[in-house]
């Protein structure tokens, strides 16, 4: 591994928070990573850095497969913004994304290097990214570099299955989507306004079919899962809408904010 990537890999800090163990889009496991897991994670980080460098982009939406969601027809579990920090040969790719503290309903924003992003023991060592439009990149780049600005649309109360059109909770992918909306709409200073912008531009969340017994079990055993922000008519019909990576990728292509299908990266 070259020194540039190693430096990027070791960069990990929450935005104004001492970082406890955190998780999003993967199971919460408090055990040391194995040598194999570290090697595979760093290999994926290096491969991703090469592919990102080749695009010439400044900001992309980057996803990982933290857990197996294939039973819901989903390929990816978690996304964040990867942005180029610095100029020329010394530029590094950094990630800004939202994570909840393991086993809790509290979340924060984190700034990490590519290596740290892929050392979370993903279910599948594979990544995907979408290069955003030139306008979206220009609007997002200064915001992502600013610790205060990037938290504008963040809600610390975390719910893995947060309803996309409510304000009570927010999950990781939802934060990224609302932040993109806020960056694109100069008048969207609140989450409600960002959500209105997304509705007007045709964002469609994923509908998961989750039965009453499964919902009850999740409510009782997991602090980071709740359903009380979902409309009763949908909840009682076992229809749970939430923001998924797959739905974001589809919408980005449909909306013109990205003009290509996701690029898949393997080590």
Write out pLDDT tens, residues 214-240: 665 554 345 588 899 999 999 889 999
For the chain, which residues make up each domain, given as ranges?
3-265
Q: How far is the CA of 158 from the CAs of 115, 180, 182, 222, in angstroms?
A: 25, 19, 19, 12
Annotate the chain with DSSP letters as a single string: --HHHHHHHH-EEESSS---SEESSS----SPPPHHHHHHHHHHHHHHHHHHHHHT-SEEEEEEE-S--GGGT-S--EEEEEEEESSGGG-EEEEEEEEEETTSSBEEEEEEEHHHHT-S--SEEEEEEEEBPHHHHHHHHHHHT-TTGGGTT--SBB-TT--TT-SS-B-HHHHHHHHHHHHH-TT--SHHHHHHHHHHTT--PEEEE--HHHHHHHHHH-TT---TTS-HHHHTTTEEEE--HHHHHHHHHHHTSB-SPPEEE--
**What tokens were used for 49?**
């850095």
**What tokens were used for 190?**
């609140």
In which residue are the tokens 């393997």 written? 266
User: In this model, does residue 83 exceed pLDDT 80?
Assistant: yes
Compute the C-alpha angle 230/228/167, nearest 5°.
65
Question: Per mean pLDDT, which range of 87-91, 106-110, 141-145, 169-173 is the poorest?
Answer: 87-91
Q: What gap in Å lies between CA 249 and CA 112, rounded to an integer?
A: 22
Q: What gap in Å lies between CA 267 and CA 265, rounded to an integer?
A: 7
The stretch 28-55 carries a mean pLDDT of 89
Q: Which backbone phi and psi does 83 adopt, to 5 degrees?
A: -135, 150
User: In this model, does residue 4 exceed pLDDT 90?
Assistant: no
The residue among 163, 127, 132 whose CA lies nearest residue 49 is: 127
- What was the pLDDT predicted at 30? 63
Report, in angstroms and rounded to the nearest whole number, the Rg of the chain calculated over CA atoms.
18
Q: What gap in Å lies between CA 80 and CA 111, rounded to an integer?
A: 10
- What was the pLDDT predicted at 13? 44
Q: Do 114 and 43 meet the contact criterion of CB atoms below 8 Å apart?
A: no
Q: How far is the CA of 169 from the CAs of 35, 106, 174, 201, 249, in angstroms?
A: 36, 10, 10, 22, 22
- What was the pLDDT predicted at 174? 98
**What tokens were used for 20?**
């406890």
pTM, rounded to two decimals: 0.87
The stretch 4-26 carries a mean pLDDT of 44
User: In this model, does residue 49 exceed pLDDT 70?
Assistant: yes
Other Cβ atoms less than 10 A from the Cβ of 260: the count is 11
Summary mean pLDDT of the chain: 86
| 147-171 confidence digits (pLDDT tens) | 999 999 999 999 999 999 999 999 9
| 177-214 confidence digits (pLDDT tens) | 999 999 999 999 999 999 999 999 999 999 998 876 56
């Amino acid at each position: 591994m070259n020194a540039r990537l190693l430096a990027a890999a070791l960069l990990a800090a929450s935005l104004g928070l001492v970082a406890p163990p955190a998780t999003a889009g993967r199971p919460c496991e408090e055990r040391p990573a194995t040598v194999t897991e570290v090697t595979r994670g760093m290999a994926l980080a290096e491969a991703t850095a090469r592919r990102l460098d080749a695009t010439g982009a400044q900001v992309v939406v980057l996803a990982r497969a933290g857990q197996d969601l294939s039973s819901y027809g989903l390929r990816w579990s978690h996304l964040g913004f990867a942005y180029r920090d610095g100029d020329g040969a010394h530029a590094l790719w950094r990630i800004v994304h939202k994570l909840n503290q393991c086993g809790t309903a509290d979340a924060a924003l984190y700034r990490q290097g590519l290596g740290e992003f892929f050392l979370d023991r993903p279910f599948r060592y594979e990544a995907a990214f979408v290069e955003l439009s030139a306008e979206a990149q220009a609007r997002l780049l200064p915001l992502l570099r600013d610790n205060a600005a990037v938290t504008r649309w963040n809600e610390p109360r975390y719910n893995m299955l947060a309803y996309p059109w409510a304000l009570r909770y927010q999950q990781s992918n939802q934060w990224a989507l609302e932040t993109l909306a806020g960056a694109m709409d100069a008048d969207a200073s609140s989450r409600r306004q960002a959500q209105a912008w997304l509705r007007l531009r045709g964002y469609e969340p994923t509908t998961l079919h989750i039965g009453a017994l499964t919902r009850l079990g999740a409510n009782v055993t997991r602090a980071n899962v709740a359903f009380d922000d979902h409309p009763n008519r949908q909840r009682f019909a076992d229809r749970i809408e939430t923001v998924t990576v797959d739905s974001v990728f589809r919408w980005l292509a449909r909306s013109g904010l990205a003009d290509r299908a996701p690029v898949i990266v393997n080590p």
